[in-house]
């Protein structure tokens, strides 16, 4: 094989799949953290009453909203990355078939 001069793009599909698996792992960790945070708030709800409980509920809602956005964004990025990987693999197969 010739030297790489920067005029072509080489896709390493195996490495890309490994990276995408890492994204899946990060998403699973984020979902686990989200559940853990919700459990902590459930415990705290049993301790606070009145204004403290209302403030706690507002804080929980704010954190839950932020975590929902983060998890949704992570999921969207992962989905788009997998779609792009599959598109590039299909193009690679199509181009290889033409030789």
- Could you state, in order of their start, the residue ranges of all structural domains in the chain? 33-97
pLDDT digits (tens, 9 = 90+) for 44-73: 999 999 999 999 999 999 999 999 999 999
Instruction: Return phi, psi of residue 64, to 5°.
Output: -60, -40
Distance CA 82, CA 23 (A): 10
Q: Model-level pTM?
A: 0.73
Residue 14, pLDDT score: 82
- The 10 Å CB-count burial string (b at 16+, else e) for 37-69 is eeeebeeeeeeeeeeeeeebeeebeeeeeebee
pLDDT digits (tens, 9 = 90+) for 14-48: 888 888 888 899 999 999 999 999 999 999 999 99
Instruction: Return phi, psi of residue 5, to 5°.
Output: -105, 5
Find out whether 81 and 13 touch, Cβ atoms under 8 Å.
no
């Amino acid at each position: 094989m010739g030297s790489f001069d920067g005029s072509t793009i080489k896709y390493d599909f195996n490495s890309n799949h490994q990276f995408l698996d890492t994204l899946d792992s990060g998403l699973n960790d984020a979902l686990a953290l989200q559940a853990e945070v919700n459990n902590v708030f459930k415990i705290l709800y049993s301790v606070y009453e009145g204004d403290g409980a209302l403030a706690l509920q507002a804080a929980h809602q704010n954190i839950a909203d932020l975590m929902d956005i983060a998890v949704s964004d992570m999921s969207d990025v992962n989905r788009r990355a997998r779609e792009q990987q599959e598109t590039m693999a299909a193009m690679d197969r199509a181009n290889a078939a033409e030789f």
